[in-house]
């Protein structure tokens, strides 16, 4: 692919199954580093990663050699296996089915990175559901309410 030139920036959002608030501060850094490793091992460039107890944001420069769905299958599957192997949660950990993937231009990189890195401040004012619906509307994504992430369960 020596004559192939791309500039693909993708913002991913995915949630813990049933949006259980189980991602804890004491191990979130290890989770973020693990996911960073998966992203980089697959030839992509990590631009930002951050999470809340019930969901995670990931922003990457996408290498077109791998499909978005293959990358998400690996990120979610490998990181869930890592969480379970390390025993970070009381019960078996699962990510919820599906994810959001939103393309951005080069001029939007700083704004998306700042948005992701300031998740904790952002969610002091807004729920994840409100945030996710705003993202879908911002990117003019058609959606069916029945497929929006399930309601939050607190452990």
Residues in a beta bridge with 57: 13, 50
Report pLDDT digits (tens) over 32-87: 999 999 999 999 999 999 999 999 999 999 999 999 999 999 999 999 999 999 99
* Residue 134 burial (C-beta neighbours within 10 Å; 0-12, 13-18, 19+): exposed
Is 67 within 8 Å of 44 (Cβ atoms)?
no
Who has greater pLDDT, 60 or 148? 60
Give the per-residue pLDDT at 20. Answer: 83
- Region 105-118: mean pLDDT is 96
Lowest-confidence region among 12-21, 39-48, 130-139, 145-154: 145-154
* 70: Cα separation from own chain's centroid: 14
Give the per-residue pLDDT at 152. Answer: 54
Q: Which residues of 61-92 are buried (b: 16+ CB within 10 A; e: fewer)?
A: bbeeeeebeebbebbbeebbebbeeeebbeee
Q: Which residue has the tokens 């949630």?
A: 15
Going by DSSP bridges, is the β-strand pair 45-52/100-104 parallel, antiparallel, or unpaired? unpaired
Q: Which residue has the tokens 């904790």?
A: 120
- Region 1-29: mean pLDDT is 90
Strand order in the sheet with 55-61: 45-52, 55-61, 9-15, 100-104
Q: What is the mean pLDDT of the chain?
A: 91
Give the per-residue pLDDT at 3. Answer: 77
Give the per-residue pLDDT at 154. Answer: 54
Q: What gap in Å lies between CA 60 and CA 57, rounded to an integer?
A: 10
């Amino acid at each position: 692919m020596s004559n192939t030139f791309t500039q693909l920036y993708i913002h991913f959002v995915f949630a813990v199954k049933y949006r259980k608030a189980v991602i804890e501060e004491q191990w979130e850094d290890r989770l973020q580093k693990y996911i960073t490793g998966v992203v980089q091992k697959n030839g992509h460039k990590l631009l930002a990663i951050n999470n809340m107890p019930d969901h995670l944001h990931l922003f990457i420069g996408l290498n077109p050699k791998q499909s978005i769905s293959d990358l998400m299958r690996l990120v979610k599957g490998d990181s869930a296996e890592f969480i379970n192997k390390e025993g970070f949660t009381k019960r078996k950990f699962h990510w919820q089915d599906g994810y959001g993937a939103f393309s951005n231009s080069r001029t939007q990189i700083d704004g998306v990175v700042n948005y992701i890195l300031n998740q904790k401040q952002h969610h002091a004012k807004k729920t994840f559901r409100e945030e996710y619906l705003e993202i879908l509307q911002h990117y003019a994504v058609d959606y069916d309410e029945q497929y929006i992430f399930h309601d939050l369960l607190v452990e």
